[in-house]
Amino acid sequence: MKQYEQLSGTTVEVDRIMAWHVRTVLGDALWRAEAGVALPDGRTPAQWVDDLDARFAVLGTFGQGASVFGPPAGQIPEAGHVSGSAAAGSDF
Give tens-digit pLDDT for 9-63. Answer: 998 888 888 888 889 999 999 999 999 999 999 999 989 888 888 888 888 777 6
pLDDT reported for residue 87: 38
pLDDT above 50 for 76: no
Of residues 41 and 83, the one with the higher pLDDT is: 41
pLDDT above 80 for 73: no
pLDDT above 50 for 92: no
pTM: 0.56
Instruction: Compute the Cα dihedral for 91, 81, 67, 27 and give only its sign.
Output: negative
How do the domains of the chain map onto residue ranges? 14-68
Q: Averaged over 86-92, what is the pLDDT?
A: 37
Q: What angle do CA 53, 56, 57 make, to 5 degrees?
A: 85
List CB contacts of 84: < 8 A, sequence separation 6 or more. 62, 63, 64, 68
